[in-house]
Amino acid sequence: QYLDAIARTDSTVCSYITVDGEQALAQARAVDARIAAGETLGPLAGVPLAIKDNICTSGTRTTAGSQILRDYVPNFDATAVSRLRGAGAVFLGKTNMDEFGMGSSTENSSFKPTRNPWDAERVPGGSSGGSAAAVAAHECAAALGSDTGGSIRQPAHFCGIVGLKPTYGRVSRYGLISYASSLDCIGPMAHTVEDAALLLSGIAGGDSHDATSSGRPVVDFAAGLATGLAAGGSRPLAGKRIGLVAQTMGEGVAPAIDEAVRAAARHLESLGATVEEVSLPTFGQGLPAYYVLALSEASSNLSRYDSVRYGARSPAATDLASLFAGSRAEGLGGEVKRRILMGTYALSAGYYDAYYKRAQQVRTLVQQEMVAALGRCDALLSPAAPSAAYKLGEKSSDPLAMYKGDLMTVNVNLAGLPALVLPAGFVPGSAEGGAELPIGLQLVGRAFDEAGLLGLGYAYE
Ligand code: GLN
């Protein structure tokens, strides 16, 4: 059914870079055989998933949205993928994305833009726009995305689905093609909080291949959701304190989004929670710090694409220097080059103290402030982005406008915290008769408290 849906829909939506129907059917038959042989399988067995194309899949092309990896077929699975494979999940294919995760609209894919299933004139968000659109268009049951500065949460908001960025280290990064290693996280994108919880349980946990992964025990995140809700009666969130982040409301935020978040706050109160406004004075410093740090790390991580060990080679190369230069010039896109240049600049001698070091100091302040607020509150509430999905092309020639759209999400990565985006209504269609567009809200939780965060989301939903 999902392959049929892809055949019907994906020529318009363009969620996938690679669809591997034969492999998916073979995996599904293997699950049938295991069940026929009497094996008891878990809840992910036979579930058709889509995987973002920066997450390595053994034997299936993995491009990270880049021409320099257009023919790269990994001979290993990312840990998140191998865990899902072991659980009997079925992989339909690999989803479109901004090249190396660098973007917020999926327009920076070197293959094609993805379109928002709610309105094909609009972007699905990014960089996990392919995964978000595939879930929203029912071209998969759920998907994996990755989130360095919002790439799971902002497309979840634009496409009206659930997106979870786990705590940094909760899910192994082994086999995730690196963008900014101190910020990158793999996480679930799904229709419901329960589906996201099931997927998180399937991919989380320590991994000897990733020294930054955490060995904290992984609970069954889905199991407690229904009982927790039932135990609370009509006020399941009694005793929970939610902080509405003052700096994320009002000026610069679309009025419909401001109103949707305030309505969500009232709904949380009706479920028994206390909602109070909290102030994070360093909030606005996070975005510039993020763009210095993410680009610095990217400039280092992307130096591996020399076309010797990886990637497409320039046919015009005559010696080693022209091989490096030509292959990178031809294989990397404009936004990726911009970021390598800016990151290299920020790290260079003489500028390091002014940019990189200062951004690290800001990162510490942002983190301390959020952690302190989460000492007083169980979760922080904010919009997921300042606007709903915008039109294709609207921001693609203005990188700064695109970067500014990440204001609501990047601080969470700087602080390494988990955050959940949930559907929270719609912006009505425009006077000219445009489609109504989904809006999400963002809840940020304490480090490694995905269970608490998912419990809040489940009650809200
Ligand atoms: N839009 C942000 C960026 O371009 C975040 C991307 C991401 O989370 N991968 O860096």
| pLDDT tens per residue across span 362-410 | 999 999 999 999 999 999 999 999 999 999 999 999 999 999 999 999 9
pLDDT value at 431 more than 70 = no
pLDDT digits (tens, 9 = 90+) for 125-143: 999 999 999 999 999 999 9
pLDDT value at 434 more than 90 = no
**What gap in Å lies between CA 265 and CA 375, rounded to an integer?**
19
Report the percent of the chain where pLDDT is more than 70.
99
Cis peptide before 172, with omega less than 30 degrees from 0?
no
367 lines ligand 1 (CB under 6 A): no
65 lines ligand 1 (CB under 6 A): no
pLDDT of residue 229: 83
Q: Where is mean pLDDT largest: 223-227, 244-248, 397-401?
A: 244-248
406 lines ligand 1 (CB under 6 A): yes
178 lines ligand 1 (CB under 6 A): no
CATH number, domain of 220, equals: 3.90.1300.10
**What gap in Å lies between CA 217 and CA 206, rounded to an integer?**
8
Of residues 234 and 242, which shows the higher confidence score?
A: 242
Residue range 89-112: average pLDDT?
A: 98
Is residue 396 part of the annotated active site? The answer reads no
> Which residues fall within 8 angstroms of residue 277, CB to CB, at 6 or more apart?
243, 244, 245, 246
380 located within any domain = no
148 lines ligand 1 (CB under 6 A): yes
Q: Look up residue 429 and give its DSSP letter.
A: P
Residue range 51-71: average pLDDT?
A: 98
147 lines ligand 1 (CB under 6 A): yes
294 lines ligand 1 (CB under 6 A): yes
> What atom in ligand 1 is closest to the CA of residue 294?
10
* 8 A C-beta contact, residue 185 and residue 168: yes
**What gap in Å lies between CA 285 and CA 280, rounded to an integer?**
10
* 8 A C-beta contact, residue 443 and residue 453: yes
pLDDT of residue 124: 98
> What atom in ligand 1 is closest to the CA of residue 179?
9
pLDDT of residue 227: 82
**What gap in Å lies between CA 32 and CA 204, rounded to an integer?**
25
**What gap in Å lies between CA 61 and CA 388, rounded to an integer?**
32
Which one of 110, 127, 131, 146 is the catalytic residue?
127
149 lines ligand 1 (CB under 6 A): yes
**What gap in Å lies between CA 280 and CA 424, rounded to an integer?**
23
pTM of the entire predicted model: 0.98
Q: At residue 268, what are phi and psi to the nearest 5 degrees?
A: -60, -40
Is residue 131 part of the annotated active site? The answer reads no
User: For strand 241-245 and strand 379-383, is the pairing parallel, antiparallel, or unpaired?
Assistant: parallel
401 located within any domain = no
Is residue 52 part of the annotated active site? The answer reads yes
Which one of 151, 214, 299, 307 is the catalytic residue?
151
361 located within any domain = no
- 101 CA distance to ligand 1 centroid (A)? 6
pLDDT digits (tens, 9 = 90+) for 191-200: 999 999 999 9
* 8 A C-beta contact, residue 413 and residue 147: yes
**What gap in Å lies between CA 347 and CA 297, rounded to an integer?**
9
pLDDT of residue 185: 98
303 located within any domain = no
ipTM: 0.97
Domain that holds residue 94: 2-230+408-460
413 lines ligand 1 (CB under 6 A): no
127 lines ligand 1 (CB under 6 A): yes
313 located within any domain = no
Q: Tell me the β-bridge partners of 426.
A: 438
- Quickly list H helices, 178-333: 193-203, 223-231, 255-270, 286-301, 320-331
Best of 52, 98, 164, 339 for a ligand 1 pocket test (most atoms within 8 Å of beta carbon): 98
Q: Look up residue 435 and give its DSSP letter.
A: P
pLDDT value at 228 more than 90 = no
- 297 CA distance to ligand 1 centroid (A)? 13
pLDDT value at 430 more than 70 = no
How many angstroms separate the first and last alpha carbons of the chain? 27
- pLDDT-derived band at 208 (thresholds 50, 70, 90) equals very high
Alpha-carbon distances, residue 400 vs 40, 121, 165, 338 (angstroms)? 52, 22, 24, 12
Residue range 35-54: average pLDDT?
A: 97
pLDDT of residue 310: 81
Alpha-carbon distances, residue 306 vs 74, 309, 326 (angstroms)? 17, 7, 10
Indicate the number of domains in the chain. Answer: 1
Q: How confident is the prediction for the chain on average, in pLDDT?
A: 96
* 8 A C-beta contact, residue 272 and residue 241: no
89 located within any domain = yes
> What atom in ligand 1 is closest to the CA of residue 405?
1
**What gap in Å lies between CA 58 and CA 226, rounded to an integer?**
36
**What gap in Å lies between CA 387 and CA 102, rounded to an integer?**
19
- 168 CA distance to ligand 1 centroid (A)? 15
Q: How many residues does the chain have?
A: 461
- 232 CA distance to ligand 1 centroid (A)? 37
**What gap in Å lies between CA 290 and CA 420, rounded to an integer?**
20
**What gap in Å lies between CA 426 and CA 333, rounded to an integer?**
34
41 located within any domain = yes
| Rg over CA atoms, the chain | 21
- 102 CA distance to ligand 1 centroid (A)? 5
pLDDT of residue 17: 98
265 located within any domain = no
> What atom in ligand 1 is closest to the CA of residue 183?
8
* Range 408-433 burial, b when 16+ CB lie within 10 A, else e: bbbbbbbbbbbbbbbbbbbbeeeeee
Best of 107, 151, 168 for a ligand 1 pocket test (most atoms within 8 Å of beta carbon): 151
